[in-house]
Amino acid sequence: MPNNKDLPVSPFSPLTIGPLTLRNRFIKSATNEGSAPGGVPSKRLVQFHESMAAGGTGMTTLAYCAVSPDGRTLPNQIVLDRDTQPHLRVLTDAVHRQGAAASAQITHGGCFTFLKPQQAPRPLSSSSGFNKVGLMSGMLRKQAMSEADIQQIADDFVRGARLAREAGFDAVELHMGHGYLLSQFVSPLYNKRRDQYGGNLENRLRFPSLVLRRVLDAVGKDLAVVCKYSITEGARGGHTAEDGAAIAQILEREGAHLLVLSAGMNVESITTMFGSSFPKENRVSSNNPIMAAAMFIQSLTAPKVDFRELYLLEHARKVRAAVKMPLAYLGGAKSLQSIEQVLGEGFDAVTMGRVLIAEPDYVNKLEAGTSRDSICTSCNRCVAMMYTPGGTSCVLGQPGDAQLNAQPAALI
């Protein structure tokens, strides 16, 4: 008799993460949708995530829900508060009608922000000093968080997680990567502290671990609590994939239900995150001056990188070897062959962004046997589409509906 553990895992089989069971192994990754004008979730945002659910995805992730107004990086981002609850409930209800689960990515930008803080004289971070993002925002200095700040922002994460539960979400994703606040504690590039929150890796994870434990205590019996982090930062002086494996061990010990394995940093190593360079079209198609400036700087500093499927697999394997907990692979899976390879190597789920923006019904096509390879060309132009009136969309299809994007999700 064959050992069931040796049989290949079907991408269409259920997956249990914490208290949540997904209908299959496909997760739509968090990708800023540009569909919350003034911070208000729009009807187009609901349409976007409902299309992911209708297209067969097991769980769709709403990107960047700030846990406080100072946690935003840009003005048109959602803040988890009472005002957004009715709109978010419309979104989760729509996703549930299609049989999928909904996850809220809850986060704080720290010094990675283009907004002047309301509660502090300078943007908060793990350490004080020069703020690289300030070259674009004009805020050239950042402020080290005090113990009181640490406890307050941990409280903010707990409140955000509870509000996500009230809004009908099935999971929350703590963003610990890409250069946002929790990542600024994890990263040796940002964290220069000499107290209990700095120095060795265990200390640098102390604040993110505190947030994780408190969120688990608050909602972990009802919601899946997911952590997304950068396995490798892809920048000189940043942490490596070996560090990424050790980070996973700490998060496993603290009780995370699932890890989403990303990589790279928004400022230092954007090509590590996306697995390929940004084209010239991205720099000229955005009317947003911050986006245009960022893309211009990236064009001068980022190396030319050509896309290849499963571009993070070598790094992710080190994490898989280090922990037993559920892991979601993220990074260039865009064909049935690569999806089956990832699951065959012991990863529990496949997380996709650009592929599902290009083809929201890709999972249904795979299950029906009518498609194997995605139409996505990994051109990265969907990133700049976030700043268009209709929000994030694929350049191979129709742009988002600008009229829907201007209408609040709920009629209040």
pLDDT tens digits, one per residue of 216-256: 999 999 999 999 999 999 999 999 999 999 999 999 999 99
- The distance of Cα 64 from the centroid of its chain, to the nearest Å, equals 7
| pLDDT beyond 90 at 368 | yes
180, 311, 329, 387: the active-site residue: 180
Residues 33, 48 contacting (CB under 8 angstroms): yes
Task: Identify which of 34, 30, 56 has the alpha carbon closest to the alpha carbon of residue 45.
Answer: 34
Token output for 300: 């001068």
The owner of tokens 């990515």 is: 105
What number is the average pLDDT over the span 190-202?
97
Q: 66-75, 287-296, 358-367 — which is least confidently predicted?
A: 287-296
- Would you state the pLDDT for residue 357? 97
Q: How confident is the model at residue 144 (pLDDT cuts 50, 70, 90)?
A: very high
Question: Can you tell me the distance from the alpha carbon of 118 to that of 179, in angstroms, rounded to the nearest whole number?
Answer: 21
Strand pairing partners for 408? 42
Residue 234, Ramachandran bin (φ over 0: left; ψ between -120 and 50: alpha; else beta): left
Q: How confident is the model at residue 133 (pLDDT cuts 50, 70, 90)?
A: confident
The owner of tokens 């050239």 is: 140
The strand pair at 20-22 and 15-17 is best described as antiparallel
Q: Does domain 4-405 correspond to CATH entry 3.30.70.120?
A: no
What number is the average pLDDT over the span 187-201?
97
Q: Tally Cβ neighbours within 10 Å of residue 321.
A: 10
- Would you state the pLDDT for residue 302? 59
Domain ranges of the chain: 4-405
Question: Can you tell me the distance from the alpha carbon of 104 to that of 91, in angstroms, rounded to the nearest whole number?
Answer: 11
Mean pLDDT (the chain, rounded): 93
Q: Respond yes or no: is residue 311 known to be catalytic.
A: no
- Would you state the pLDDT for residue 2? 39
DSSP run (H or E) holding 313: helix 313-322
| pLDDT beyond 50 at 284 | no
User: Which residues have CB under 8 Å from 225's CB, separation 6+?
Assistant: 18, 161, 171, 172, 174, 212, 215, 216, 219, 255, 256, 257
The strand pair at 20-22 and 258-262 is best described as unpaired
Confidence (pTM):
0.93
What number is the average pLDDT over the span 88-107?
98
